[in-house]
Structure formats: structure tokens, C-alpha cells
Amino acid sequence: MRTQRAISRVRTNDGTHDASDAGRFHVCYAVHSFTGSHGIVRSLFDTSSGIAQEFNRTIKKSTNNIIMEQEHLSDEMYWGLSLSALTLQSLGNCNHRSLFGFDGKDENVKAFLKSYLYSIGIFNAKEAKDRLYHYRHDQMHNRMFMEAVHHLDLLSEAEFEAHLDTLETPLEVKRCKIAWLYRHELKETGIRGHEIAQYVMLMRLYGAYGYLEENEIRLRLYDIAGEVRQKFHSWDHYHQNVLAGDQYVKGYEIHDHSSVLISNPLIAAYYSISNSMYQTDSPFFQLNWSEQ
């Protein structure tokens, strides 16, 4: 059994990532130097960043008054839930020891869950499950990324520069530059890790909000575990993919990680969990990537 400093059986109210190989995709420690860029760094939640900040304040206030019951979850369940640790922590002061991550019985928490789901276009249980279907069956941004990588792999550098001039929006240009940067490193995995993290996070939020039953969450987690272990060889490998995927989807360029930490809760979560892996009382302390 290979031991990694990683997030295997989620057991924390922290939620980030191991920084041991953080230079792998140049996401956190390294600097992206895109031609003609101006170092624009965008918040993880874009238009819903205010919701995320207020959500975090509300969650902290709520958890000061309500101690969420620690659930007994199997090692495999902890492992599966941990796939959302980075994205879930970036949303607020979550409880990684629980199935849902947030206390859906608390009215304030439920109100902000509703606001967050509305902000990403989910207004009812039918739309919630439809979004899960698209994430599970690779019908979100990873497909777009892989098509871009295939196309860009056929271009010379001069042709790539000319191709940028044909794009219509700033977001298209930024995504194209990011796909070009990662076209070799992510040729096999794409940004599938990012989509799986979103998939698992949404399941947990749906559970807290009442859109999914516990048993369905468990079945979905067991279903996705095999794909994750086939595509990624460690938690760091997986979480670097989550970060790279978020960068592509949101179209932001990282030039100074110290300032990014302030504006991007996903990267802040990455470092937070990374640090917790060295603490013996952390649920992420010396956990294994594979249970095999």
C-alpha cells in the first residue's frame, strides 16, 4: 500500500491539498506568464464571490452555536467524500467529518445553500440531478478542454498566436492560453479531477439541502471511486488537477500566489489542507490515496 500525505478518508473541518508537488502544473508556486496578459486574478466564485464570503461568515457563526454530530462513516466513504475536500472548504467552514459537510437543519445554513445553488443555476431537484448527470458523464468543461488540447496540439507556436486573434471574447482567449500551457501535462487526464470534485461537492450540498438521500450519495461515491483511482496516482496529482481545472473554467491567470491566496478561496483551501497533513490531530494526517 502506497502512503501519501493526502486526503484519503476525509476526517476534518479543514479542506485543502498537499503542496509537496505543488509545482507540477505550475498552479500554485509557479508563475504563469502568458503573452500579453496583465496578471488578472479572479475570485473562485466570480459573480457569486459575495455569496461565498457571506456564506463563510454565516457558517462560522452557526458552528459556534451548533456542534454538528460526527457521523460514523466507513474508510471508503471518507475516501470518496474527500474528493470534494478542496472545493467544499473553499465554500465555507465545512465539517469534513459529516456526510453532507454542512448542517442542513440550520435555517441560516440552508438559506445560504439555496443562494449558492441559485447562483450556479440550480433551482429544483430535477435541475440538481441533471447537473450531476452531466458531471458524471463528462459533459461539462472537460470535454471542451480536451477538444481544445487536441486542436492546439496540431499548431505551431506561430499558428497558436494567430489562432488567439480569431477568438471573440476575453474568456475564450484566457481558456485557450491555459489549454495551450497544459496541453502536454493534462493530455491524458484533462481536467476530469476538477469535474469530479464539483460532482462530489454538489452531492453533499444536495444532501444538506434535501435534494438527495444519503443512500444515493453513498452509491454515487462508490461508483466514481474506480475512475478516480485509474486516472490519478496520488492526492497531490488529483488536487493539482482540481486547481488547473478551476483555472481553465474561470479563465484566471496566476502571477503572484501570495495575492491569489487572498482572492481565490480554492487555493487558500489547498494550502490549508496541505498544512494540516502534518498535524497528528488532523483528519488528513498520513492518509492513503489507495485502499488497495
Residue 249, pLDDT above cutoff 70: yes
Q: Using CA atoms, how far apart are residues 240 and 236, in angstroms rounded to an integer?
A: 6
Q: Using CA atoms, how far apart are residues 275 and 132, in angstroms rounded to an integer?
A: 31
pLDDT digits (tens, 9 = 90+) for 148-178: 999 999 999 999 999 999 999 999 999 999 9
Residue 33 pairs with which residues in a beta bridge?
A: none
Query: What is the four-CA torsion angle of 265, 270, 272, 277, rounded to 10 degrees?
Result: 160
Give the global pTM: 0.75
Instruction: Tell me the three cell numbers of residue 212.
Output: 438527495
18-32, 67-81, 181-195, 216-230, range with the lowest pLDDT: 18-32
147 vs 275, higher pLDDT:
147
* CA-based nearest residue to 22, from 40, 45, 5, 46: 5
Report DSSP letters for 151-204, one per residue.
HHTT--HHHHHHHHTT--SHHHHHHHHHHHHTTTTTTTTTTHHHHHHHHHHHHH
- The pLDDT value recorded for residue 107 is 94
Q: What is the mean pLDDT of residues 204-233?
A: 94
Q: What is the mean pLDDT of residues 37-53?
A: 35
Calculate ∠ Cα 194-262-287, nearest 5°: 50
CB burial string 236-264: b at 16+ within 10 A, e below: bbbbbbbbbbbbbbbbbbbbebeebbeeb
- Cβ-contact 229, 238 below 8 angstroms: no
pLDDT digits (tens, 9 = 90+) for 76-134: 888 899 999 999 999 988 888 899 999 999 999 999 899 999 999 999 999 999 999 99
Maximum distance among all Cα pairs of the chain, rounded to whole angstroms: 59
